[in-house]
Amino acid sequence: MQDNTTPLSFTPVKIGPILLRNRFIKSATNEGMAKKAIVSKGLAQFHERIAAGGAALSTVAYCATSPDGRTFVDQAVLDDASAADFRALTDGVHKHGAAASAQITHAGSFTFLDHATLRTSRPLSSSGGFNKVGVMSRRWLKKKMTVTDMEAMTAEFVGAAVRAREAGFDAVELHMGHGYLLSQFLSRIYNKRWDAYGGSIEKRLKFPREVLGRVLDAVGKDVAVVVKYSMTDGDKGNSIEDGVAIARAIAADGAHLAVLSNGLNVESITAMFGSSFPQSNRGTVNNPIIALGMWIQSLSEPKNVVFRENYLRELALRVRASTDMPLAYLGGIQSIEGVEQAIADGFDCVALGRALVHDPGFVNKLKSGEVRKSACTACNRCVTMMYTPGGTSCVEGKPGDAKLNTIRAGAAA
Ligand SMILES: Cc1cc2nc3c(=O)[nH]c(=O)nc-3n(C[C@H](O)[C@H](O)[C@H](O)COP(=O)(O)O)c2cc1C
Ligand code: SF4
């Protein structure tokens, strides 16, 4: 029975086959706590803190479909070797009454892995030719995927989703945004094909929809199948009309929830974060390839983007008006007013990144009334913390424990 005294944001919601205890989702924030692909105690504790802090669903960022699917070496892979450690992580989240989601990702050409680490000489993508990200890792060319490559890739996504279910995850989130492989098919900036998989948005959707359909068939009865995608590519590339078409297509396919992000890692990072990036950072980036990449990127980034709460509201409302499927509002949720606005706008859930990096206990504090607004300043300095031994943390708090990030989550205490 509905408790009329509880604000809607703190009431349960059904997402596909699972019931979330409230509307708060911790969005994926590349934790940098899977050093050399080890799912560590540091990573498990990070998500346990989010669960203990009141969120209903904690998303484990970047669980790669295969070792080649990583952007960085320090990212987890959903393979047999990580199963017991992922199980320890999901057990820790469940202990606090929350659910866990695995963000399943393949980088495509957005990878900094070098020749020695990657099995394929050219990173895969929707289209071949010059690979701007590969300038740093000296992998200058990318490979246009063939239909056979796509079939193999679909099987990788399905295999990863099945392993996630076996490891106790309640949801899987297919990463179709930000410029990773599936986004490289959706985005008109990357997809230059003129076959059945490129051209109109309907054709650019074909491969990501094949992956979604097969993942839904394989695990959709047991776990929630979530799609995170970019509503636009920023100023150039996909427009909000493309973003609406994507929502309609994945709704027709039966996706259980869409998390509405924006922008691309390389071309439009401020469209994703709604605020500029600082030139200096407390975090030291040890990897010279990544450091060079960040410097090159910073040259073209707008320097004066001023953060405002719910900065993606206008775009997300366009998507909300176009479909009945469950949607999570994402982007600049920082206060109880921001949460209530999103729920009043008709979104089923809210997804929070930085506010929960700043304080994993934020949801419980909002609920009790202890705080009404996060003290996160949207400075984005936590983003480069992922490259440090301690992993992602707010620069205003305590850094992560570097040692814990090297110990398997499933190892005896
Ligand atoms: C440190 C950090 C790492 C992130 N890593 C990821 C990631 O791995 N995958 C992803 O989909 N989004 C990632 N994001 C983006 C967030 O999920 C979210 O889309 C963005 O921070 C905007 O939400 P917010 O305003 O609530 O922070 C990251 C954000 C931060 C701050
Ligand atoms: S470093 Fe801290 S204050 Fe700055 S954006 Fe990240 S969480 Fe917020």
Name the closest ligand to CA 278: 2
Higher pLDDT, 282 or 32: 32
Identify the pLDDT of residue 278: 76
Fold of domain 8-406: TIM Barrel (3.20.20)
Catalytic residues: 180
The closest residue, in CA terms, to atom 16 on ligand 1 is 353
Ligand 2 mutation pick, 357, 362, 384, 398, max ligand atoms within 8 A of CB: 357
Q: Is it the case that residue 1 has pLDDT exceeding 50?
A: no
* Residue 163 pLDDT exceeds 90: yes
Cα gap 148→156, rounded to integer Å: 13
Atom of ligand 2 nearest to the CA of 378: 5
Residue 332 C-alpha to ligand 2 middle, in angstroms? 12
Exposure class string for 251-283: b at 16+ Cβ within 10 A, else e: bebebbbbbbbbbbbbbbbbbbbbbbbeeebeb
Distance 405 CA to ligand 2 centre (A): 21
What is residue 283's predicted lDDT score, i.e. its pLDDT? 44
Q: What does the domain layout of the chain look like in residue ranges? A: 8-406
pLDDT in tens, 248-259: 999 999 999 999
C-alpha distances (whole Å) from 42 to each of 45, 282, 405, 410 are 5, 20, 5, 11
Distance CA 309, CA 269 (A): 17
Mean pLDDT of 70-93: 95
pLDDT of 355 > 60? The answer is yes
Write out residues with Cβ below 6 Å of ligand 2.
354, 357-358, 376-382, 394-396
Q: Strand order of the sheet with strand 129-130?
A: 124-125, 141-144, 129-130
Confidence of residue 117 (pLDDT cuts 50, 70, 90): confident
Best mutation site among 183, 333, 354, 366 for ligand 1, i.e. most ligand atoms within 8 A of its Cβ?
A: 354
pLDDT at 261 over 70: yes
| Ligand 2 mean position, distance from CA 376 (Å) | 5
Enumerate residues lining ligand 1, CB below 6 A: 27-30, 61-62, 103, 175, 178, 228, 261, 273, 330-333, 352-355, 357, 382-383, 386, 392
- CA-nearest residue, atom 24 of ligand 1: 353
Report which of residues 295 and 15 the model is more confident about.
15
Q: How many CA atoms lie within 13 A of 118 on its CB side?
A: 25
Task: Give the bridge partners for 259, in sequence order.
Answer: 228, 328
Residue with tokens 């998507």: 319
**How many angstroms does the Cα of residue 378 sit away from the middle of ligand 2?**
5
Of the chain, the percentage scoring pLDDT greater than 70 comes to 94
Question: pLDDT per residue over 38-50, tens digit each?
Answer: 999 999 999 999 9
Distance CA 151, CA 155 (A): 6
pLDDT tens for residues 213-249?
999 999 999 999 999 999 999 999 999 999 999 999 9
Note whether 18 and 100 are within 8 A (CB).
Answer: no
Rounded to the nearest integer, the mean pLDDT of the chain is 92
136 three-state secondary structure: helix
Which numbered ligand comes closest to the C-alpha of 383? 1
For 315-333, what is the mean pLDDT? 98
pLDDT greater than 90 at residue 316? yes
Residue 304 pLDDT grade (very low, low, confident, very high; cuts 50, 70, 90):
confident
Give residue-wise pLDDT tens across range 270-296: 999 999 887 664 345 666 666 666 666
Mean predicted confidence (pLDDT) in 367-385: 93
Residue 380, classified by CB atoms within 10 Å of its CB into exposed (0-12), middle (13-18) or buried (19+), is: buried
